[in-house]
A and B are shown apart, each in its own frame.
Chain A
Amino acid sequence: MRELSRRRLLGLGWGAAAASVGASVVAGCATPGSTNVNRAAPVPRSDEPVTLTYWSWLKDLQKVADIWNAQNPRVQVEAVWIQGGNDGGYAKMYAALAAGGGPDIGQVELRQVPEFLLANGLVDLSRYGAAEFAERYAPSLWNQVVFEEGVYGIPQDSGPMAFYYQTALLEAVSAGPPATWDDWRELAGLVRETGPANYLEVFPASDAAPFTAYAAQAGARWFRIEGDEWVVDMTDEATMRVAAFFDSVIDDDLVETGYEAFSPGFYAAAGEGRIAALTSASWGDALLQSISDGAGKWRVAPMQTWPEGDYGSSALGGSTAAVLAHSPHPQEALDFIVWMTSSREGIDAMIEHCGIGWSPSAEYIGAARRRPSEWFSGQSYNEEVFVPASRQQPEWTWAPLTQATLTAVEDQLRRKLTDGQPLVDGLVQAEAATLTAFRNKGLTARSAS
């Protein structure tokens, strides 16, 4: 980047921002997202053969689409691979939407759905009969795609959480997996004594999603709608309890904060036995299997719980297949998405070819996931651990400022590590920053406290 900018003295930073803006200028200076397709008449089913495009970062999605294509000659689906959402995929979709185009279907994470609403970028699928499929999906997921009675995406996968651990390292301190977070803290202390660089778990400062998931498990609900106003509540009792817990855990040096899960440093440490466990989502199973010499050393246990909390687990990540605003065939797109995400055939194909996270279906986890895993010490962990883990807080919803909120929390997590500022104070500041972000977008928002 430096090399390029040398040649253009005026600067690439300028150019990069400008180039993306250029797209909207070329599109005719209209304000992106100023038209709301959900106010226009619904598009009827087409009489002609239809080709749908699906932008997604799932690998080999075309193989799943081909199964559908063979059975539905009139509705052909073409999968187009894009960069992961925050690595450029969303920027690409936003640019396409601003230019009045884009694919019929886009992969949008659950937490990103309301951000796309802000760009008026999604079709309300309730106008095409999506509500009748509601009972096919896990209620905690369905709740996250419904806003003001509109359905803005169909859950495609999710990430119920559990406690992954190295059996031998826990046996070395004569302990089993923790039942509660207090047990977890005690266990972290025991593992810490086994060596100067040994930790039970990592605690990421650069990713607020795990902290958010822990708070949701404790019963926190950061966002809700009251009338035509957003209410932000990041300092409720549940969140404060979780923040105080991690304040003391970090102060006592019980977690490794130098790197995050699934980073090169994490894999090296886990392979050498310096990291004993990981609280993460069901999709973490595939990632953990790239730890060298890890086969047979790991097991999975239910996630530790908060003593007062009512929820057995929480969720990390998860995405939807959403119909983007300019799709000429939303009805056909919905037909395909429902097949892909709720039929046994679709779910099995998504697991086999794309390696999706947890199945969004309330009833079917996928044939491949009913078998025991050799890597995880022969455990049938999916049925043992993750099926019960789907019982989560059903009320959590995201708001249109997800990215700004997570960034605000991440800034405070970093300040905890660099300046030692307690998280309980940091979250007050994160809430203030989030409210500012809401207002900067022209939305009405207030603090719950």
Chain B
Amino acid sequence: MTARRRTQTRAAWLLLAPFLALFALTFVVPIIAAVGQSFTTIDRAGLFGEDGVTSEFAGFANYARALADSGFVDSVGRMLLFGVVQVPVMIVLCTALALLLESASARWPQFFRGAYFMPYGVPGVIATIMWSFFYVPGLSPLLDITQALGLRIDPLGPEMVLWSIANIVTWTYTGYNMLIVIAQLKAIPTEVYEAARIDGAGPWRLAWSVQLPLIRPALVLTTVFSIIGTLQLFTEPKLLQTVAPSIDTSYTPNLSAYTNAFAFNEYGIAAAQAVLIALAAFVLSYAFLTVTSRTSRRAKR
């Protein structure tokens, strides 16, 4: 019995080995390296460091510099503003779409499910390039129409560009989140619906009192993913930079880390910023989960 168990354990490890090796090499080691790098600074002697370059333990100096950089701090604030607006909009939108498609009176639900999900299949780079053609004055048919109506809108101007990015993100991820919610809706047993109908619940009542409470876990999940995604915004602003002068090199926290690492060759600060982003994502997600689990416990009572 024990011998058999041992061979089973060995087989399990053997099968896990390829995953674990890659996971360690491409995930665990880089994270450890980044954390290590975030505590390192480089000192130079001479005009270019030609007389010697030394690497030193910096303590929290890189973190202090990252936090003293107003561009980086502003970018975190900008992402919080973005998240506070975009995440609720997207979650409400995806829930509404899911409820509509799962309601009894929905027409062609499969077709619309596919159609709404489609934007998620478009790579972020392509989606951004495509949307940028709707945003650039002179190229955009939408702006031609608004101009004909006498409105001068500049989606790439300093005030609007954040919401233009929010629009791309919402367009891409609403369908994806909708599918998660639909999956949860499909898991609700039909007896629950029957019972509710016998009690005289109409479609509104059904959605509000039966479906919404039961899809709560899916909503929590999608919200946490969206919060993390918000902090990591990179592709859309990076690409829109070419058409929107107001997007600077530290427009989002990730863009800031990218600039430090690959334009300024300042890996220490970039690593410190990356660690801070990860911590912020962790704290925000944890806070959200705590709040939701507390309110759900209270609701049960």
Shortest Cβ gap from A123 to chain B (Å): 12
Interface pair A34/B48, CB less than 8 Å apart: no
State whether the Cβ of B201 lies closer than 8 Å to any Cβ in chain A: no
Q: Interface 1/0s, chain B 148-185, versus A by CB < 8 A? A: 00000010111000000000010011000000000000
Cβ–Cβ contact A17 & B138, under 8 A: no
B33 vs chain A, min Cβ distance (A): 4
Residues of B within 8 A of A400 (CB): 47-48
Residues 255-276 of B contacting A (Cβ, < 8 Å): 257-259, 261-267, 269-271, 273-275
Q: If A11-B281, A18-B271, A34-B54 touch, does A410 touch B232 (CB 8 Å cutoff)?
A: no
User: A417 vs B266: C-alpha distance in the bound complex, in angstroms?
Assistant: 28
CA distance A351 to B53 in the complex (A): 40
CB distance from B242 to the nearest CB of A (A): 6
What residues on B are CB-neighbors of A225 within 8 Å? 47
With A2-B173, A12-B232, A86-B263 already in contact, the answer to whether A206 and B44 are too (CB < 8 A) is no
Known: A18-B31, A31-B54. A1 touches B158 (CB 8 A): no
Task: Check B254 against A114 for contact (C-beta < 8 Å).
Answer: no
Q: How far is the CB of B121 from chain A (nearest CB, A)?
A: 10
Query: In the bound complex, do residue B50 and residue A22 qualify as a contact, i.e. CB atoms below 8 Å apart?
Result: no
B37 within 8 Å of A by Cβ?
Answer: yes
- CB atoms of B49 and A265 under 8 A apart: no
Q: Does B18 contact A (CB under 8 A)?
A: no
Residue of B nearest to A95 (CB): B262
Contact with A along B44-80 (1 / 0, CB 8 A): 1111111111110000000001000001000000000
Task: Flag whether B278 is at the interface (Cβ < 8 A).
Answer: yes
Asked, given contacts A6-B225, A6-B228, A120-B49, whether A91 binds B253 with beta carbons under 8 Å apart, the answer is: no
- Decide: A13 and B254 in contact? CB cutoff 8 A: yes
Q: Is B196 an interface residue (CB 8 A)?
A: no
Tell me whether A403 and B264 are in contact (CB under 8 A): yes
Contacts of A119 in B (CB 8 A): 265
Q: Name the segment of B22-30, B107-115, B208-216 touching the other chain.
A: B22-30
CB proximity of A447 to chain B, nearest CB, Å? 17
Q: Which residues of A contact B45 (CB under 8 A)?
A: 442
Contacts A18-B34, A403-B263: A265 and B136 contacting too (C-beta < 8 A)? yes
- Nearest to B156 among chain A residues (CB) is A258
B88 CB contacts on chain A under 8 angstroms: none
Among A91, A272, A403, A411, which residue has its beta carbon within 8 angstroms of that of B71? A411
By size class, the interface of chain A is 35 or more
Shortest distance in angstroms between B35's beta carbon and chain A's nearest beta carbon? 8
- Nearest CB to that of A271 among chain B residues? B138
Is B103 located at the chain interface by the 8 A CB criterion?
no
Contact call A22/B29, Cβ cutoff below 8 A:
yes
Whether, in the assembled complex, A286 has its beta carbon less than 8 Å from a beta carbon of chain B, the answer is no
Chain A residues whose CB sits within 8 angstroms of the CB of B273 once the complex forms = 13, 17
Q: Is B124 an interface residue (CB 8 A)?
A: yes
Contact flags (1/0) for B6-34 with A, using CB distance below 8 Å? 00000000000000000000110111011
**B223 contacts the other chain (CB 8 A):** no
- CA gap between A124 and B271 in the complex, in Å: 32
B229 at the interface (CB under 8 A from A): yes
Q: Are B245 and A13 in contact (CB under 8 A)?
A: no
**A179 interfacial contact with B, CB 8 Å:** no
B43 on the interface (CB 8 Å rule)? Answer: yes
Q: Beyond A120-B53, A403-B264, A417-B246, is A228–B47 a contact (Cβ under 8 Å)?
A: yes
Residues of B within 8 Å of A374, CB to CB, are: none
Do residues B30 and A414 form an inter-chain contact, with CB atoms below 8 A? no
Smallest distance from the beta carbon of B83 to chain A beta carbons, Å? 12
Q: Is A259 at the interface (CB under 8 A from chain B)?
A: yes
**Smallest beta-carbon distance A102→chain B, Å:** 15
- Please indicate which of the listed interface residues A18, A147, A263, A400 has the most CB atoms of chain B within 10 Å of its own CB: A18
A443-B47 contact given A22-B33, A264-B139, CB 8 Å threshold:
yes
B241 at the interface (CB under 8 A from A): yes
User: What residues of A have a CB within 8 angstroms of the CB of B49 in the complex?
Assistant: 33, 117-118, 120, 441-443
Q: How far is B26's CA from A10's CA once the two chains are assembled, in angstroms?
A: 13
A269 at the interface (CB under 8 A from B): yes
Q: Which residue of B lies closest to A407 (CB)?
A: B249
Residues of A within 8 A of B47 (CB): 147-148, 225, 228-230, 400, 443
Q: Which of A5, A34, A259 contacts B243 (CB 8 A)?
A: A259
When the two chains form their complex, are residues A268 and B270 in contact, meaning their CB atoms are under 8 A apart?
no
Q: Does A115 contact B (CB under 8 A)?
A: yes
Residue of A nearest to B158 (CB): A418
* Given known contacts A33-B49, A269-B138, A437-B264, A13 and B274 CB-to-CB distance under 8 angstroms: yes
Q: Which residues of A contact B42 (CB under 8 A)?
A: 31, 441-442
Known: A268-B139, A443-B49. 9 other contacts (CB 8 A): A6-B229, A16-B274, A17-B34, A19-B26, A22-B33, A264-B136, A407-B249, A440-B266, A443-B44
Please list the residues of chain B having a beta carbon within 8 angstroms of any beta carbon in chain A: 26-27, 29-31, 33-34, 36-37, 41-55, 65, 71, 120, 124, 132-133, 136-139, 154, 156-158, 169, 172-173, 225, 228-229, 231-235, 241-249, 253-254, 257-259, 261-267, 269-271, 273-275, 277-278, 281, 285
Pairs A–B under 8 Å by Cβ, sample size 23: A1-B254, A2-B169, A2-B233, A11-B277, A13-B234, A14-B31, A14-B274, A18-B34, A22-B30, A31-B42, A114-B48, A117-B50, A206-B247, A257-B245, A258-B245, A263-B136, A264-B133, A265-B136, A265-B139, A400-B48, A407-B263, A414-B158, A440-B65
